[in-house]
Chains A and B, each alone.
Chain A
Amino acid sequence: MTFWLVLTANSITFGGLLFLLSAGFSLIFGLMRIPNLTHGSLFMLGAYIGATFVIGMFGVKLNFWLAAVLATLTVAFLGALAERFLLRRLPGDQLAQVLVTLGLSFMAADFCLIVWGGDPLSVATPPELAGFARLGVLVFPNYRLAIIVIAAIVAIALWLLLERTRLGAMIRAGVDDPDMARVVGIRVSQLFTIVFALGAGLAAFAGIIGGPILSVYPGLDQDMLPLALVVVILGGTGSLLGSFVGSIIVGFIYNFGQALLPELAYFVLFLPMLLVLLLRPQGLFGRHVP
């Protein structure tokens, strides 16, 4: 009984983390039609930068949350630069986008090795969230509960941003029909930079939030990118609800798949993605086929 409860609770936690990672991926994919293969690298960069300040590697030691904010802003800025100076030049050219995002991810992976070496970094759980919560028979770490709360807050904030602000209206218009959005006078190019920075920042935030669970190590980027892809394909691109539901589904598949069918762990992860692509190519909540 406890076994199932733990798995269920953890599925939601992992789903929450995946949502933080993939919401930005989905927006970038949906709005800009860019298969952003650097997303795993952004996650890893965020985790490394955040961990640097939490640990105090280069002499500056910060509170966990402050470090998280700093990592998010730094990576968002880097994302904006990448969009402005590289991706901007390649509208609609998927081949070049694949080439440049893969190239950047190679560079980011090696850059992390140069700066932080190969040793894994351990990020301590913020002290205020150490310890366990008792929910009936279930004993669950506070920090994992906090991730669920954080993911929910971010989800609500993003929803408000998309549905209640002018910026959100422009993004939605852009996702639905980029040409029409341009015609009605939305400055799509500026919008792209903002969305890319937002997506990059979210990925970095996910990286540092995931730090106390996953720790930070070379190869983290390659571990996370396929998961983000699966979420976005399942949920549908450009859809916030899609990312949310997709993340939770993948969280459950991941946890129960590994526990019950460890031999088929990868198979059960990618099979639903394939099925969705074949049967409902726009994803569960996507509005149009990618």
Chain B
Amino acid sequence: MSDKVTRRKFIAGTAAGAAAAAFNFPMPAIAQAAPFKLGLLTVKTGPLAQGGIQMEQGIVTYLKEKNYTFGGRKVEFISADTGGNPAGTKTKAQELIERDKVDTIVGPLAAFELLAITDYIAQQKTPCMSLAAAEDMTQRRPNPYFLRASATSSQAMHPMADFAAKELKLKRMITASEDFAFGYEQMGGFQQTFEDAGGRILNKLWPPIVTPDYTPYLAQIQDCDGVCQGFAGSNPLRFLKQYAAAGLKYPVVAGETGGDDALLRSFGDEAIGLYSCCPYTLDLETDTNKRFVAAMNKDYGVDPGFYCAGLYVNGMVIDAGLQKTGGKSDDKAELMKALRSVALTDTPRGQIKFDNYGNVIGDFYVRHLEKANGKLINKTVKTYKNVSQFWTYDEKKFLEQPVYSRNYPPLKS
């Protein structure tokens, strides 16, 4: 691989040099000889591969659309498989940064992978754009080289809770989510907003990530108005199936991973009626989104979900950032500054910009899962505009409270 790179570099360099010599033409700043190197940290083997493969599809779709050229500069794309574990992520991040000398990293997928490399990317001054939702990365312990164009864990849950309380008129709910940070942060956000709107959380259930059978938890869901689930990966599928099998009929609401559009091809009819809030929705009626969905259908034969769209949007942000720097990426601090100042009005997920902590401010969509023409679809029923990671809360007060956890906010007795 390194061989190929050097050869390609060599050819590009000589070609540019020859052109300059022949025409005695001042080279524009944009036409740097070396390509911009974009590294992807993703998961292509093991249990997390589903989301990881979708991530790669998303970024590749954008690269193809732009003919591998960002801001007038050729892009060389390098993909690395972390295997879904932190030690592997560290090694692969080193491979991308130290061997391949990438200019920007997109990924990794999971929060624990991101946490394993956050100090490292800051040391190496390599901009990193991940979907991983670990809140404090853009809140209490911000990393200057980290940028998140997707959402924090609770960013979709705040509007979801608002919708559940005000539009669905639910009063007493039970939450169920995986027993790790992503689950805590989602459910904490849901609880805080839901209780501020006059609702009450009766109980919070925390099944481990590996839970073949949810029945022991489902047996504890009773005497309530609704359930909020925050599962990720293939778990929402199993949870909803077993939820229906247990004869439970309370309405269910979810976040971006619990009702993702990419899961629609796996869900059965038991998922009908699910409300989910997501920073991306398949049915957004914009040209950019239609183009994106059409490309995904054509190349991979599937509808994209949150992971694909997230990486596609990351690609757009980097493209826009490079346009701002005139294609230059040598000064990583400058590049990071440019990336952070990107504001796009038309992406597959609508308009986006970034706050001072490097987290996205954008639209969030509440969708209702329905069946139309024999196919399951998420139909957008309400759009929350310009949602920040702090929702409607005062930024300072929000940051003073502890990060959402298993016991924060506490249950009201």
Answer yes or no: are A and B bound together in one complex.
Answer: yes
Cβ of B29 within 8 Å of any chain A Cβ, yes or no, is: no
Determine how close the nearest CB of chain A comes to the CB of B305; give it in whole angstroms.
10
Within the complex, the shortest CB–CB distance from A46 to chain B, in Å, comes to 15
Chain B residues with CB under 8 A of A122: 237, 241, 266-268
Judge whether A213 and B265 touch: CB under 8 Å: no
Q: Report whether A141 and B246 are in contact in the complex, using a CB–CB cutoff of 8 Å.
A: yes
Bound-state CA distance A260–B175 (Å) is 17
Contact B216 A143, beta carbon cutoff 8 Å: no
Check: A121 CB closer than 8 A to any chain B CB: yes
Minimal Cβ-Cβ distance residue in B for A143:
B245
Contact A223 B212 (CB under 8 A): yes
Q: Which residues of A contact B234 (CB under 8 A)?
A: 120, 215, 217
- What is the distance, in angstroms, from A87's C-beta to the closest C-beta of chain B? 25
Cross-chain contact of B53 among A117, A212, A223, A262 (Cβ < 8 A):
A117
Contact (Cβ within 8 A) A218 B49: yes
State in angstroms the CA–CA spacing of A212 and B270 once bound together.
12
Residue A265, interface by CB 8 Å = yes
A113 and B49 contacting across the interface, CB-CB below 8 Å: yes
Closest to A255 in B: B216
B74 contacts A by Cβ under 8 Å: no
Give min CB distance, A126 to chain B, whole Å: 13
- Flag whether A222 is at the interface (Cβ < 8 A): yes
Collect the chain A residues with CB atoms within 8 Å of residue B14's CB.
none
Cβ-defined contact, B215 with A214, below 8 A = no
B95 within 8 A of A: no
Query: Is B215's CB under 8 angstroms from A6's CB?
Result: yes
20 extra interface residue pairs, beta carbon distance < 8 Å, beyond A2-B219, A258-B217: A2-B222, A6-B246, A10-B213, A14-B215, A118-B49, A118-B54, A122-B237, A122-B266, A124-B268, A141-B246, A213-B238, A215-B234, A217-B237, A217-B238, A218-B47, A218-B50, A222-B210, A255-B213, A258-B207, A258-B211
- Sample (28) of A-B pairs whose CB atoms are under 8 Å apart: A6-B246, A7-B215, A10-B213, A113-B45, A113-B49, A117-B53, A118-B50, A118-B51, A118-B52, A120-B237, A122-B266, A122-B268, A141-B245, A141-B246, A210-B212, A214-B213, A215-B237, A215-B238, A218-B47, A218-B49, A219-B210, A223-B210, A254-B213, A255-B215, A258-B207, A258-B216, A258-B217, A262-B208
